[in-house]
Copies of this chain bind each other. A is one copy, B any other.
Amino acid sequence: MADLPEFTMTGGPLEVSDRVLRAMARQTMYHYDPLFLELHNDTIDKLKKIFQTKNDLIIMHGEAVLGLEAAAASTIEPGDKCLNLATGPFGKGYGRHVTTFGGELLEIEVPFNESIDPEAVRDMFRAHPDIKVLSVVHSETPAGTLNPIEKLCPIAKEHQAITIVDAVSSVGGMQCLPDEWGVDICIVGPQKCLGAPPGSALVSVSKDAWQKMLGKSEPLRGSVLSMLDFKERLIDNGRFPYTPSVNQVYAVREAAAQLLEEGLEHAFARHRAAALACRAGIKAMGLELWPASEDIMSTCVTAVKMPDGVTDKALRAMMRDKYGVMISGGHGDLIGKLFRIGHMGKMAGVSYVLVALAALEKTLTDLGVKVPAGAGVSAALATA
């Protein structure tokens, strides 16, 4: 067909459901129209259920990076010791925000195919009990790995540090319990496991986090990076800090509704099944998974070492143009080292994984890589 690609299975954005797209096409409303206010509040309620949190939840109207940067900007007091955990390009990159906003950067960095050992964090807090902020990525999309935030955040909370978790690609697709695990600021992107288009940062904020923001010598207000504006203007006074992305809210609401109708457990199982099928297929094709072990793999994306003799560009261009499947390459330092098949949101299904594996087999064969015929799809199917 003329409108290639037929399937988008990247690190995000991915294809979204017909239902979400139609919701997005609802006529634009004034943001203070009572109907929009109702829809906005309903979206907040639905997202809280998906976040499984009783904390406040705000929709910031820019991509997830806005929420991530805002978390640093809103909480870090110049001079604060901040521990950043670097397990991939996204985790590593967060350190920049720490220094931009005046924090003193402490960092634990591991190779980008590994995840964080809680002991290392415990050691760091022992050495620096005055750490004020811990920042960590839950699901490191560029590397296909998962950090054990359920163990990491409690350590920080024991030391009264605020925890900022990049859960951009985890919430909705795998278990994440901010309240139980001590996640103070949990930032999620709609274009990943939630199955909506990009354009918002969905953020839950704990009381401790609000207090940290208010306790700064100069609390951040009057900025798109201010989370406090959402607390003081919107939550407390019903006024948006700025014009919300009305149609994007429609889309997020519909995606949230669809996810809740499915049920979180079912969605998690669906993401897990897709991931298992994908990994089995990749291994059966004789390819190597990028993460150091399957224990630390995220279920939202499968990262695969780039086979010898194949370039990122050739692989992805042929897979898309000839076989109709768009996947992702590496990000930042990982460019050229791996490629990634995303299976999130609508695309977290074994059927889609089969399509991707089939296209991959054909592409690799065309590119001269020996791949056992049918092995990938057969192995994937066997897991279903």
Within 8 A of B (CB), among A155-212: 189, 191, 197-199
Give the residues in chain B near A88, CB-CB below 8 Å: none
A245 near B199 with CB under 8 A, answer yes
Cα separation A362 to B273 with both chains bound (whole Å):
14
Nearest-neighbor residue (CB-CB) of A262 within chain B: B2
Give the residues in chain B near A7, CB-CB below 8 Å: 351
Cα separation A8 to B351 with both chains bound (whole Å):
13
- Indicate which residue in B29, B355, B374 contacts A351 across the interface (CB closer than 8 Å): B355
A359 touches B (CB below 8 Å): yes
Give the residues in chain B near A26, CB-CB below 8 Å: 18-19, 21-22
A242 near B2 with CB under 8 A, answer no
- Copies of this chain, complex-wide, total 4
A225 near B225 with CB under 8 A, answer yes
B35 near A4 with CB under 8 A, answer yes
B30 near A10 with CB under 8 A, answer yes
Cα separation A379 to B377 with both chains bound (whole Å):
11
Mark contacts of A324-355 with chain B using CB atoms, 8 A cut-off: 1 yes-contact digit, 0 otherwise.
11101000000000000000001001110011
Give the residues in chain B near A23, CB-CB below 8 Å: 22
Nearest-neighbor residue (CB-CB) of A189 within chain B: B243
- Indicate which residue in B31, B33, B69, B197 contacts A247 across the interface (CB closer than 8 Å): B197
- Indicate which residue in B5, B15, B22, B62 contacts A224 across the interface (CB closer than 8 Å): B62
A66 touches B (CB below 8 Å): yes
Interface pairs (30), CB distance under 8 Å: A4-B35, A6-B349, A6-B351, A8-B33, A13-B28, A13-B29, A14-B28, A15-B27, A16-B28, A18-B27, A21-B26, A24-B247, A29-B326, A32-B328, A61-B62, A66-B224, A93-B222, A97-B222, A191-B243, A197-B246, A198-B245, A324-B349, A354-B354, A358-B377, A358-B384, A362-B381, A362-B384, A373-B378, A373-B382, A374-B377
9 closest residue pairs by CB, A with B: A374-B378, A62-B62, A199-B245, A25-B25, A2-B261, A65-B242, A10-B30, A197-B247, A377-B377
Residues of A within 8 A of B (CB): 1-8, 10, 12-19, 21-35, 61-66, 69, 93, 96-97, 100, 189, 191, 197-199, 222-225, 242-248, 251, 258, 261-262, 320, 323-326, 328, 346, 349-351, 354-355, 358-359, 361-362, 373-375, 377-379, 381-382, 384
